Structure 1
Amino acid sequence: MDSLSLTIRDLHLQSGAAPISAHIKDGEIVGLAGLDGHGQDVFLRSLAGLERNQGAVDLQGNRISSFRDAERNAVVYVPRDRRSTGIFPDLSILDNFAIATPGVDRRGPLISAKARRARYEYWKDRLKITAPSPEAPITALSGGNQQKVLLARALARDPKVLLLNDPTRGVDVATRLVLYDLFRELAAEGMALVILSSEIEEILVLCHRVLVFRDHALAGEMSGDAMRTDSVIAAMFGRAA
């Protein structure tokens, strides 16, 4: 099987900003850093087909120019604000998990409740979700467990590329460590992950590379020993480390 490559060519995040070109390969965890409003969020949403910008995003030669293109090519986006754009507060935990993948549980003309429950239990165990009955409302869960359900929903779609917008925002330390372990496991299995984080230390601990944004352009790219707090901060403010 050919290795996965998400290719970004001459992507303009804002009129007048320098274009961005980059490659993201399977098994990589790439972090996005920058001051709020400097383009990293627009960049991540562009990879998901949620922003229309001059330039091109391709996955193994398939163009990603809309959210439908992203879905078709197994590029999955998990939003930052789980309450307003993630969970369905009136639905159960199980319905929140399965709502994006109803066809997977179809057996003939009907949805198999057994198959749907089995899929949920697999991801519940893998993400260490602490929850009452799957039929309980998702609002009965803590914020960290709601976030895990959102991730389970995304992972149930079998992504090749997982785009995460501040995935540990507002969760406790125990949940954060569970998610770190999960992200590393997914990368080891060959998935590409792109993680926007508001915490530099999180990026340095978790990611193989970091792309630093300033003024809607790429201000720096670092990996290995070059990934240091002072280097990232310097790039964010347009200074030499």
Structure 2
Amino acid sequence: MADRATLSVRSLVIAPGASPVTQAIAPGEIVGLAGLDGHGQERFLKVLAGLERPAAGDVTIEARAITSFRKAVASGIAYLPRDRRSTGIFPTQSVLDNFAVSTLSRDMRFGLLSFAARRRRYEAYREKLSIVAPRPDASITTLSGGNQQKVLLARALALEPAILLLNDPTRGVDVATRHVLYDVFRGLAADGMALVILSSEIEEILLLCHRVLVFREQQVAAEITGNEMKSDTVIAAMFGRAA
């Protein structure tokens, strides 16, 4: 894994007229993002990933500015998209090709692609994430939704990031897969990775995260920690009310 690193957000304005956001997301921390649809939490996550530009402010990791998706990846940030069918998987490709597409350079030996090295990396992540797939050369579309999601997560983890950004990572997956993913996320944090998780399910955020940022009208309406980490408190902040 990449060296432990802090993701710093300074005076970040994600939409004109919104209040700035300043945050530090530390190694080993799991930060949740909540809010009603369209209130800024997804845009904030995409700004962290270098996929969108803010109205003002900056995002840095160990003094390196994140101004594009390429720079984010090079700086140790990995992003798992929300809609795996349209922005995640390559449906005409195999399970193995979907896994390895972002890390081909790591499988090169003397200028040539080592299929054995690629297969070994895939098998390590297949075991770690309990991916159920008939064989590596099977089409990705033969897998269940949950296993497709695990392949995308394996692809992100193969980058060995310091920061993992997850956009509704358990959306559309079964309960068993969900709990496998929860265990993986907790294990990554225990190993020093920083995670930012946007979830449409409040209970998921409360179960996984050390603190939660609640977005309302394109800005952080509340930061909730400790004993205040309860559904009522999060919901109240989402609707602009006191708990």
- Using the size of structure 2 for normalisation, the TM-score is 0.97
CA distance in 2, matches of 1:203, 1:28: 13
Number of corresponding residues: 241
Gaps of 5+ in 1: none
Give the one of 196, 199, 203 matched to 2:198: 196
Contact 2:4–2:162 (CA under 8 A) maintained in structure 1 = no
Aligned to 1:223: 225
CA distance in 1, matches of 2:204, 2:218: 22
1:7-48 per-position Cα deviation (integer Å, ceiling 9, x unaligned): 101111111111111110000000000000000000000001
- Using the size of structure 1 for normalisation, the TM-score is 0.98
Matched letter for residue 39 of structure 2 = H
Residue 140 of structure 1, CA deviation: 0.4
Residue 2 of structure 1, CA deviation: 8.4
CA distance in 2, matches of 1:11, 1:138: 38
CA distance in 1, matches of 2:178, 2:170: 6
Distance 1:178 1:2, change over 3 A: closer
Aligned to 1:47: 48
1:119-177 per-position Cα deviation (integer Å, ceiling 9, x unaligned): 00000000000010100000000000000000000000001000000000000000000
Contact 2:221–2:237 (CA under 8 A) maintained in structure 1 = yes
CA distance in 1, matches of 2:3, 2:137: 41
3-state SS in 2 of match to 1:177: helix
Residue 66 of structure 1, CA deviation: 1.0
Aligned to 2:175: 173
Residue 4 of structure 1, CA deviation: 2.0
Distance 1:147 1:225, change over 3 A: same
When structure 1 is superposed on structure 2, of 14-23 and 173-182 the one drifting more is 14-23
Matched letter for residue 86 of structure 1 = G
For residues 44-123 of structure 1, the aligned pairs below 5 Å read 44-53=45-54, 54-123=56-125
Give the one of 132, 136, 158 matched to 2:138: 136
CA distance in 2, matches of 1:99, 1:87: 10
CA distance in 2, matches of 1:85, 1:231: 33
3-state SS in 1 of match to 2:160: coil
Residue 226 of structure 1, CA deviation: 1.1
Give the one of 217, 231, 239 matched to 1:237: 239
% identical aligned pairs = 64
Residue 3 of structure 1, CA deviation: 5.4
Contact 2:11–2:20 (CA under 8 A) maintained in structure 1 = yes
Contact 2:42–2:167 (CA under 8 A) maintained in structure 1 = yes
CA distance in 2, matches of 1:197, 1:238: 19
Distance 1:83 1:111, change over 3 A: same
Tell me, yes or no, if structure 1 residue 23 matches structure 2 residue 24.
Answer: yes
CA distance in 2, matches of 1:3, 1:186: 11
Tell me, yes or no, if structure 1 residue 11 matches structure 2 residue 24.
Answer: no
3-state SS in 1 of match to 2:151: helix
How well do the aligned residues superpose, as a CA RMSD in angstroms? 1.1
